[in-house]
Amino acid sequence: MSDAENTPSDVNEVDIDAVYKESAIQDVLDRLDAELVGLVPVKTRIREIAALLLVDKLRRQLDLTAGNPSMHMSFTGNPGTGKTTVAMRMADILHRLGYVRQGHLVAVTRDDLVGQYIGHTAPKTREVLKKAMGGVLFIDEAYYLYKPENERDYGAESIEILLQVMENQRDDLVVILAGYKDRMDKFFESNPGMSSRIAHHIDFPNYNPDELVQIAKLMLAESNYRMSAEAEEVFSEYVKKRMEMPNFANARSIRNALDRARLRQANRLFNSRGRMLTKVDLMTIEAEDLLKSRIFAQGTDESTQDDDE
């Protein structure tokens, strides 16, 4: 330890590869690549943040002091674009690079933070903050915390406590606010205090049809299903139609569509009793399992229902 702590130490070389290897963040980045289709801009930002933290760590080794960079983030994008998944990986990266001590993720919404009566909100918010200490607090649809139409809404109290902790206890937790882009923008406009404490704004783009088909294939493979070649063609038709409908929720809608396809596949197999089924039969989603979807039956304009077709 040098006598004067502010003087850069005599050692003036650090091994970036060694620190990189030791942190094993490549594993996390690889996993992110494997798990999430597309999202190139998001992945790039994550890489940048990882690089920042890594260099910061190296600088600290050479006693080049600088305040801990702020790491609070906002993730904006439509539902099903991978915000929660990325938040989980982010927590992991922050932990591996020593930015947070425990690396767990606590995901909440307004109901977990805001109470029903006077004196209820502060303890609730603090309870959540305490659970998240040492890790990442992920607040989904954060704009619901702020209800300008109701003067006496307790959400403001929760925001105030959050702000305090985000400012004073940066070393203890990272907050990620998430939600639709336009609503988040409005939220930040009316809450400049919150806006100024967010260091990283990451926008999650919608998936394009090819990416969605790829996601579907990944999801099916995870649960030991596959689509026949014919079914795959039908599915990419399906995706295009579904995207034009209301309440489209990217990967989430894909998962729901696949769940229903599995249901129809099971029915089809059940009705074909009297013959032996092969392993392939049990694994394969056929075109007819998809074609029975109401999207094909009724056309897009009539279906204004939500995802539950």
Partner 1 sequence: MITNPTGRLTQGQFSFLPDLTDEQISAQIKWALAHDWAVSIEYTDDPHPRNTYWEMFGLPMFDLKDPAAILMEVNEARKTFPNHYIRVMAFNSTRGVESPAMSFIVNRPANEPGFGLVRAEGPGREIRYSFHSYATDKPESERY
If the CB atoms of residues 46 and 105 are measured against partner 1, the closer one turns out to be 105
If the CB atoms of residues 104 and 147 are measured against partner 1, the closer one turns out to be 104
Q: Give the shortest CB-251-to-partner 1 separation in angstroms.
A: 29
For residue 62, give the amino acid letter. Answer: L
Q: Give the shortest CB-205-to-partner 1 separation in angstroms.
A: 33
Q: Give the shortest CB-95-to-partner 1 separation in angstroms.
A: 11
Phi, psi angle pair for 272, to nearest 5°: -95, 30
Q: Which stretches of the chain are assigned E, i.e. beta strand?
A: 73-77, 105-108, 136-140, 174-179, 200-204, 226-227, 284-285
Q: Which of 107, 13, 89 lies closest to 45, judged by CA?
A: 89
3-state per-residue secondary structure call for 241-296:
HHHHCCCCCHHHHHHHHHHHHHHHHHHHHHHCCCCCCCHHHHHEECHHHHHCCHHH
Q: Give the shortest CB-286-to-partner 1 separation in angstroms.
A: 47
If the CB atoms of residues 104 and 260 are measured against partner 1, the closer one turns out to be 104
Q: Catalog residues that contact partner 1 under the rule CB under 8 A.
A: 101-102, 104, 123, 126, 129-131, 133-135, 165, 169, 171-173
Q: Which stretches of 154-220 are assigned E, i.e. beta strand?
A: 174-179, 200-204
If the CB atoms of residues 8 and 123 are measured against partner 1, the closer one turns out to be 123
| Residue entry with tokens 């933070």 | 113
Q: Give the shortest CB-172-to-partner 1 separation in angstroms.
A: 4
If the CB atoms of residues 62 and 161 are measured against partner 1, the closer one turns out to be 161
